[in-house]
């Protein structure tokens, strides 16, 4: 056991040294030899454990992210021999097969953009580069599925560092694409070539990390029940650059353990101080409100979210029981943690944020929930697109001829 502990501590120390060297300006090529020497024959999961130890010890996730490109550079061509993806996951509709199909589609777009970049300043090539980058905006859906479906399960199985690090890199890729996209119509593409190549490189490296680091960890731990949940909930979040994804039905005989029975519907009534409601009545009431509601309990885990027709931010059932700090990108998690701390200590009772999201103007409100004695019980998050409210003028005293949610004139139109 002592040898195992010593090895673990040694690996963590090496990672710290490499991160420090990267922080000081050394390139991936300059540090990868030492990384390969220490970690070349170590599984991705063991490396993840070493990184988790660093983060648990207080090293910022943003620093650990510096190692991502080193991982990819060292392990290409070898990590496939460490992990073999089971054949059962290659069945059409299985989340692993779907993720890999999306990755092949992303790679195709990356290759096409690269090909056309080499042909600049040809006008036709210019149009094709722009079209390809606009199609690659769908990569956000791909990352949303990881962050809302795959990462919660990894955390449940104690794999906490890789999701944090990978989410941070996802956001870097999003930022690169957003920055380039904002300049497409105002600057010459030839002057953006380096920025575009940097984005393409990072997006391509992420594909490798997903398939050779993330997927083996998931396949090693998730049950068929859990894979089925991921497959079913992927439909709501949508797919990236692919369509015609079939419904995947696990074969019980091939499962490592019997498939669990579907949970029975919650029944009965709830006695409230001001009335009595059936569970379905309460659920439908909350889902009908033109706002999104999420409740985080006093133990900092997600307890409930409403399921309106169109959510502002994606939510999946996989986040129930997930720590709220893991539900946010690493770059903003400190804001969430400070807010929860202020609620718990009684320094604040609410906080509001508002952001522009295209045609939507999103108001996000956080409220401390307390019992009659003032003891902290949790946080209520209420999110709403208030653009329709901002457009209200004059008075309205008569009933509209139409009252459907798609009515252009209704206050609560579903945007």
> Looking at residue 364, what is its pLDDT?
94
Query: Pairing mode, if any, of strands 269-272 and 275-278?
Result: antiparallel
Residue 160: name the closest of 297, 305, 45 by CA.
45
> Looking at residue 145, what is its pLDDT?
95
pLDDT digit string (tens) for 238-297? Answer: 999 999 999 998 875 444 444 444 444 566 888 888 999 999 999 999 999 999 999 999
Residue 332 gets the label, from left (phi > 0), alpha (psi -120 to 50) or beta, of alpha
Cα–Cα distance measured from residue 110 to residue 133, given in angstroms and rounded to the nearest whole number: 8
pLDDT digit string (tens) for 138-195? Answer: 999 999 999 999 999 999 988 888 898 899 999 999 999 999 999 988 888 889 999 9
Q: Which domain holds residue 94?
A: 87-252
- Reported as a pLDDT band with limits 50, 70 and 90, residue 88 is low
Do 132 and 225 belong together in one domain? Answer: yes
CA distances to 54, 395, 402, 405 from 398, rounded to whole Å, are: 63, 9, 12, 18
Do 202 and 138 belong together in one domain? Answer: yes
Cα–Cα distance measured from residue 252 to residue 383, given in angstroms and rounded to the nearest whole number: 40
Domain boundary among 82, 97, 121: 82
CA distances to 222, 283, 315, 319, 413 from 289, rounded to whole Å, are: 35, 10, 16, 21, 11
- Other Cβ atoms less than 10 A from the Cβ of 183: the count is 14
Percent of residues, the chain, with pLDDT higher than 70: 78
User: Is 123 within the bounds of a domain?
Assistant: yes
Do 215 and 357 belong together in one domain? Answer: no
User: Is 35 within the bounds of a domain?
Assistant: yes
pLDDT digit string (tens) for 317-362? Answer: 888 999 998 888 888 888 989 999 999 999 999 999 999 988 899 9
Mean pLDDT over each residue of the chain, to the nearest integer: 83
Averaged pLDDT for residues 5-23: 69
Residue with tokens 């901002």: 390
Q: What is the CATH number of the domain that holds 227?
A: 1.20.120.520
Do 8 and 121 belong together in one domain? Answer: no
User: Is 36 within the bounds of a domain?
Assistant: yes
- Reported as a pLDDT band with limits 50, 70 and 90, residue 3 is very low
Total of domains in the chain: 3
Do 238 and 374 belong together in one domain? Answer: no
In 3-state terms, what secondary structure has residue 1? coil
User: Is 411 within the bounds of a domain?
Assistant: no
pTM: 0.69
User: Is 215 within the bounds of a domain?
Assistant: yes
Q: What is the CATH number of the domain that holds 373?
A: 3.30.450.20
Do 113 and 189 belong together in one domain? Answer: yes
Do 72 and 92 belong together in one domain? Answer: no
Higher pLDDT, residue 73 or 125: 125
User: Is 398 within the bounds of a domain?
Assistant: no
> Looking at residue 39, what is its pLDDT?
65
Residue 405: name the closest of 415, 393, 414, 397 by CA.
414
Do 201 and 63 belong together in one domain? Answer: no
Domain boundary among 252, 279, 304: 252
Q: Where are the alpha helices (DSSP H) in 210-247?
A: 215-221, 224-237
Do 364 and 237 belong together in one domain? Answer: no
Residue 5 pLDDT > 60 = no
Averaged pLDDT for residues 79-93: 61
pLDDT digit string (tens) for 221-236? Answer: 898 889 999 999 999 8
Domain boundary among 252, 281, 308: 252
- Reported as a pLDDT band with limits 50, 70 and 90, residue 410 is very low
Stated as kind and residue range, the H or E segment containing 368 is strand 360-370
Do 104 and 219 belong together in one domain? Answer: yes
> Looking at residue 249, what is its pLDDT?
87
Residue 86 pLDDT > 50 = yes
> Looking at residue 347, what is its pLDDT?
95
User: Is 131 within the bounds of a domain?
Assistant: yes
Do 221 and 332 belong together in one domain? Answer: no
User: Is 263 within the bounds of a domain?
Assistant: no
Higher pLDDT, residue 98 or 64: 98
Do 16 and 93 belong together in one domain? Answer: no
């Amino acid at each position: 056991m002592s040898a195992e502990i010593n090895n673990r501590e040694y690996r963590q120390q090496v990672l710290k040294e490499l991160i420090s060297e990267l922080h000081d300006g050394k390139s991936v090529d300059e540090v990868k030899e030492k990384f390969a020497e220490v970690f070349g024959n170590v599984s991705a999961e063991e490396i993840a454990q070493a990184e988790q130890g660093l983060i648990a010890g207080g090293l910022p996730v943003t620093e650990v992210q510096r190692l991502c490109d080193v991982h990819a550079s060292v392990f290409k061509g070898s990590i496939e021999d460490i992990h073999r993806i089971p054949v059962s996951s290659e069945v059409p509709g299985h989340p692993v097969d779907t993720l890999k199909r999306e990755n092949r589609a992303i790679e195709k777009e990356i290759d096409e953009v690269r090909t056309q970049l080499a042909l600049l300043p040809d006008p036709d090539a210019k149009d094709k580069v722009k079209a390809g980058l606009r199609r690659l905006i769908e990569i956000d859906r791909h990352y949303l599925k990881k962050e809302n479906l795959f990462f919660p399960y990894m955390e449940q199985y104690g794999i906490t560092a890789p999701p944090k690090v990978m989410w941070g890199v996802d956001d870097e890729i999003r930022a690169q694409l957003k920055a380039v996209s904002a300049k497409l119509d105002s600057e010459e593409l030839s002057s953006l070539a380096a920025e575009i190549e940097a984005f393409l490189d990072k997006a391509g490296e992420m594909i490798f990390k997903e398939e050779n680091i993330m997927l083996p960890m998931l396949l090693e731990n998730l049950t068929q029940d859990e894979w089925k949940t991921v497959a079913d909930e992927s439909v709501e979040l949508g797919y990236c650059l692919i369509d015609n994804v079939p419904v995947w039905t696990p074969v019980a005989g091939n499962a490592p353990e019997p498939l669990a029975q579907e949970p029975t519907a919650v029944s009965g009534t709830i006695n409230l101080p001001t009335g009595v409601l059936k569970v379905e009545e309460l659920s439908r009431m909350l889902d009908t409100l033109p706002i999104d509601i999420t409740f985080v309990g006093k133990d900092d885990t997600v307890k409930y979210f409403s399921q309106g027709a169109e959510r502002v931010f994606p939510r999946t059932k996989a986040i129930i029981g997930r720590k709220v700090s893991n539900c946010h990108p690493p770059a903003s998690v400190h804001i969430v943690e400070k807010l929860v701390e202020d609620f718990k200590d009684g320094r604040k009772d609410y906080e509001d944020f508002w952001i522009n999201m295209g045609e939507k103007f999103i108001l996000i409100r956080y409220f401390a929930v307390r019992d009659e004695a003032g003891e902290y019980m949790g946080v209520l998050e209420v999110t709403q697109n208030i653009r329709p409210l901002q457009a209200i003028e004059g008075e309205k005293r008569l009933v509209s001829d139409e009252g459907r949610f798609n009515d252009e004139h209704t206050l609560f139109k579903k945007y």
